[in-house]
Amino acid sequence: MNAASTDVGTPLLELRDLSVSYRTTEGALPAVRGVDLTVRAGEVVGVAGESGCGKSTLATTVLRLQPRDAAVTGEVLLAGADVLTMGWGDLRAARWADASIVFQGALHSLNPVRRVGDQVAEPITLHEPTVGEDEVTARVRDLLEQVGLPEGSARRYPHQLSGGQRQRVMIAMALACRPKLIIADEPTTALDVMVQAQILDLLAQLVRDLDLGMVLISHDLSVLADVCDRVAVMYAGRVVEFGAADDVFGDALHPYARALSRAFPRIGDPAARYAPAGLAGDPPDLRSLPHGCSFAPRCPLAIDRCRDAEPPLAPHATGSDGNPRLAACIRAGEQW
């Protein structure tokens, strides 16, 4: 959002060669493979890709919320401190106060028998025990106002609110301890189209007003297109293309990113979660990845050499923002 702030200071989030593998009864399932990603204050970085490509695994790993059966390697730096090696005390502080997550299911995450004001207050009273009761009440009121909820919402129960209002409550909760980074994992997927647009507007406005950094995750490119500054497209656990949102959506380098952006779905189309229109087949089974490029079996441009080795994510052009455009494809520089 704010180009001037994208190249100064310590990044809010830095993933370095992050890999996450789940132990399953049928063997190791590498859900995230060697991901590098940087998010700075004032910018929205999108993460796109079909269902199952590792987006939620990436999100939960940032706050070490992944299940016990996940093996994680690499580094996750939150404001310079590695989340993967920090002690529980620091980790508790980092959750909510450095970064927080907004998930898709606002319906299911709120406690149906507690007033929403009390639920928004909870992270404040837990993480900032010295804050007095009156101040907590005032902060909750401000938070609910900030996310556009009508006055008096604090006293309501979740069932008295619409789906969009409940998602606003979730966003207020995520902001409660004044984090600098918000990770929003499919934050609008359960909502209808009009409400989706309102929630995206709200998120974009919060990034601007509070100078936050945001990772916005969606299978739906139409959700990412308007809001993101830069976008990472994931396939089979890897980032296969990275660059300025306009470049990736307008003129993708990687055949998978191009298929996704060509199939630009209607906002909210549930079918868009799975194979994009015009792209045959399914993503590979992560437990038995094909040799070479994992997209080759579905790729209309695949040649023999694509099956030799997995192509590294490498610069192929200069982006409209002046930064290198990255793609993991040996044919990315060609005209096709």
Residues near ligand ADP (CB under 6 A) are: 22, 24, 29, 31, 49, 51-57, 67, 286
User: Is residue 189 a contact point for Mg ion (CB under 5 A)?
Assistant: no
Phi, psi of 126 (to 5 degrees): -75, -45
Calpha distance 119→112 (Å, rounded):
10
- Residue with smaller CB distance to ligand ADP, 49 or 292: 49
Q: Out of 56, 61, 165, 222, name the contact with Mg ion by CB under 5 A.
A: 56
Phi-psi region of 325 (alpha: psi -120 to 50; beta: other; left: phi over 0): beta
- Residue with smaller CB distance to ligand ADP, 99 or 232: 232
- Binding pattern to Mg ion, positions 142-181, x when CB under 5 A? ----------------------------------------
Return the DSSP state at 107: H
Least distance in angstroms from the C-beta of 228 to ligand ADP: 16
Q: Choose among Mg ion, ligand ADP, none what residue 54 binds, the Cβ cut-off being 5 to 8 Å by kind.
A: ligand ADP
Angstrom CA distances, 234 to 17, 57, 203, stand at 14, 12, 22
**What angle separates helix 133-146 from helix 116-127, to the nearest 10 degrees?**
120
Q: Choose among Mg ion, ligand ADP, none what residue 275 binds, the Cβ cut-off being 5 to 8 Å by kind.
A: none
Q: Choose among ligand ADP, Mg ion, none what residue 286 binds, the Cβ cut-off being 5 to 8 Å by kind.
A: ligand ADP
Calpha distance 305→132 (Å, rounded):
65
From the list 163, 147, 242, 248, the residue with the least C-alpha distance to 204 is: 147
Angstrom CA distances, 146 to 38, 127, 277, stand at 27, 21, 38
**Are 108 and 42 a contacting pair, CB within 8 Å?**
no
Least distance in angstroms from the C-beta of 55 to ligand ADP: 3
Q: Choose among Mg ion, ligand ADP, none what residue 22 binds, the Cβ cut-off being 5 to 8 Å by kind.
A: ligand ADP
Q: Select the span of 50-58, 84-92, 148-156, 230-238 touching Mg ion (CB under 5 A).
A: 50-58
Q: Choose among ligand ADP, Mg ion, none what residue 196 binds, the Cβ cut-off being 5 to 8 Å by kind.
A: none
- Residue with smaller CB distance to ligand ADP, 66 or 153: 66
User: Is residue 66 a contact point for Mg ion (CB under 5 A)?
Assistant: no
Residues 240-279 binding Mg ion (CB under 5 A) are none
Residue whose pair of structure tokens reads 């590098």 in the numeric block: 36
From the list 184, 172, 222, 181, the residue with the least C-alpha distance to 56 is: 184
- Residue with smaller CB distance to ligand ADP, 106 or 286: 286
Q: Choose among ligand ADP, Mg ion, none what residue 24 binds, the Cβ cut-off being 5 to 8 Å by kind.
A: ligand ADP
**Are 223 and 267 a contacting pair, CB within 8 Å?**
yes
Q: Choose among ligand ADP, Mg ion, none what residue 278 binds, the Cβ cut-off being 5 to 8 Å by kind.
A: none
CB hemisphere CA count around 309 (13 angstroms): 4
User: Is residue 104 a contact point for Mg ion (CB under 5 A)?
Assistant: no
Least distance in angstroms from the C-beta of 58 to ligand ADP: 7
Buried b (16+ CB within 10 A) or exposed e, 98-135: bbbbbbbebeebbeeeebbbebbbbbbeeebeeeeeee
Sign for the pseudo-dihedral over CA of 250, 252, 257, 258: positive
- Residue with smaller CB distance to Mg ion, 56 or 153: 56
- Residue with smaller CB distance to ligand ADP, 298 or 316: 298
Q: Which residues bind Mg ion (CB under 5 A)?
A: 55-56
